[in-house]
Amino acid sequence: MNQNIYKKDDKLIIEIPLLADRWNPYSDSVVGTMPNIIGVIEQVKNSTEPEMGFAYRIDMSYKGKDDQWTDFFFKWFDDQKSFEKLCKDLGINIIYS
C-alpha cells in the first residue's frame, strides 16, 4: 500500500489512498478496485457510547464474501453525528457493528 507520512510545519500528515486494488490470489491478478477505508461505528458492550473511527477494508470478494475490516487505525472521540457527517463529506462508507 502506498502511504506517505511526513511532517509539515507543526502537523503530522498521513496520506492513505482512498482506493485499493481487489486482488484474486487464485488467478494471481487484480480484478478491480475498492474503497480502502471504511468508517466503523461499533457499539461497545456495557457502554452507552459507541467507539468510532477509520479502519482499512479487507477484500473478501475472491471468496464470494462481504468485505471485512481491520481494527481502527484512527479513533474518533467526538460525537457520532459529527463522525457520520465527516464520513459523508469524505465519501467514506460506514459500517455499524
* Domain extents in the chain: 18-96
Cα within 13 Å of Cα(82), Cβ side: 4
Q: How many helices (H) and strands (E) does the chain have?
A: 1, 8
Alpha-carbon gap, residue 11 to 25, rounded angstroms: 38
Angstrom distance (rounded) from CA 60 to CA 92 = 18
Beta-strand relationship, 94-96 and 37-42: parallel
Residue 1 has pLDDT above 70, yes or no: no
72 beta partners:
55
pTM of the model: 0.86
- pLDDT tens per residue across span 10-68: 999 999 999 999 988 888 888 889 999 999 999 999 988 999 999 999 999 888 899 99
pLDDT value for 2: 67
Instruction: Quote the pLDDT of residue 77.
Output: 96
Return the number of other C-beta atoms located less than 10 Å from residue 22's C-beta.
Answer: 17
Banded model confidence at residue 3, pLDDT cuts 50, 70, 90:
confident
Q: Which helix (H) or strand (E) holds 47?
A: none
Using DSSP's 3-state secondary structure scheme, residue 49 falls into coil
